[in-house]
Amino acid sequence: MNPSASGWITKLNSLLGHAAFFPAENGTFYGKLRESGFIYGTNIKPALPLEIDNRLTEEELSKVHLYISLLSAYYTRNGTLDFDRAIDSIIAFYTVMESNDVSFFNKLLTGNKGSSKLEKIIGNRVLFDENILTKNFNRIPTNMLLYIDTLTYKQYLDGNENCMEYAGNLETFIINTIYRALDTKTEKNEYDIQLVKLFESSTRYTGTYDQKVEDLQQQPPFRLSSALEKKYVVDLASLAVWNDRTVEEQEKKFIAALAHDILYLPVAEAERSLFLVQDFFNLHRKEIPILNFSNPVRQFYDNSSRMVSNLILRNRKRLQLELLESRELVVLLSKSTVKELSKEEKQKVRSQLLDICKSIPSLAIFLLPGGGVLLPLLVKFIPQLLPSSFDDNKLE
């Protein structure tokens, strides 16, 4: 399955239709989304054990998690899951939410199938930094609040005619809570500054926020009705106060007061939320960009390496055929990992790579300035270039 190509929803539906672990109700699936990182705005691993060959990127995981969470909401409300009806329902929901967006309706006019339309809608919802330089140097998602879509869809299914107002109120409530949580810190570090930027760039339904309100009791009049909403707010507040050292006593008190006094949850829920945040980020520290303020050049190489690795793995059949016909290229690539190539040898590599790029255009990155530092990745994957399907979303 390849969520970056058309047909991925149909393929995913096929996988889910044969899975014993799905469908799952909202309450059960929420825990899986939290473990995957989706609730925290960073996707580390699939929330469900899908049988797929490709290693999905963070952007692709975001798409998959959003779609499955919407399916989960549909199943929770209806007690059964019909993929076609669920897709139609989700499209109808987003049509209501995007009623003032002309470009949104242009997306609905393209594609014959509902799944194709929904792929475009979800692709538009899962936003990443579109600036190529920023994207390479610091690939940070702007999806900290994406689960609001699922909570709002639940309201839509329950007959709430003011879904947009609900989403705006929930978003405002969360952002104001985050600001207050950060105000409890005695010192703010780079993580806190980046976190604020991420939350602000994640908003979809509202604009500016009042950062000066000092007391939780002064929150705007908005009542959270479900346990899932309350748990989500506490999790995001716990994310805000967490850092890589400790959670200070005043921060613990803030989370406890939020849970018990404002949301009427047991204090144990606040303690569990703090523990899960710390456990998740300590476990996945090396995989989360916001926690790694390293040298920009190193970040560029690491992010480019991940991208190229995915390109190689997804084009391994075609690449294998090309390399079988370019044995000299394999020898030169192997040599480049232990010894500097001569000017003539580099020209041969470039020439033969250019031929390969004619059949696999996405690998043209190796021909860009600086692409030479990524050449060892080809050598790394050469033993793994085994035959596989050209189309990752093709149904068997």
pLDDT in the model for residue 84: 94
Sequence-separated (6 or more) residues with CB below 8 Å from residue 313 = 53, 54, 55, 381, 384
pLDDT in the model for residue 212: 44
pLDDT in the model for residue 184: 81
Residue 217 near residue 211 (C-beta atoms within 8 A):
no
- Report residues of the chain scoring pLDDT below 70: 99-112, 127-142, 190-191, 194, 196, 200-202, 206-222, 243-245, 289-325, 330, 333, 336-338, 353-354, 356-396
The residue written with tokens 């008190």 in the block is 253
- Other C-beta atoms closer than 10 Å to the C-beta of 33 total 23
pLDDT in the model for residue 23: 86
The values of phi and psi at residue 345, to 5°, are: -65, -40
What does the block give as tokens for 140?
């940070």
One-letter amino acid at 217 equals Q
Sequence-separated (6 or more) residues with CB below 8 Å from residue 224 = 170, 173, 230, 233, 263
pLDDT in the model for residue 68: 95
Helix or strand run (H / E) with residue 71 = helix 58-78
| Residue 141 β-bridge partners | 128
Would you say how long the chain is, in residues? 396
pLDDT in the model for residue 276: 94
The residue written with tokens 């000066």 in the block is 212
3-class secondary structure for 157-217? Answer: HCCCCCHHHHHHHHHHHHHHHHHHHHHCCCCCCHHHHHHHHHHHHHCCCCCCCCCCCCCHH
pLDDT in the model for residue 231: 94
| Residue 128 β-bridge partners | 141
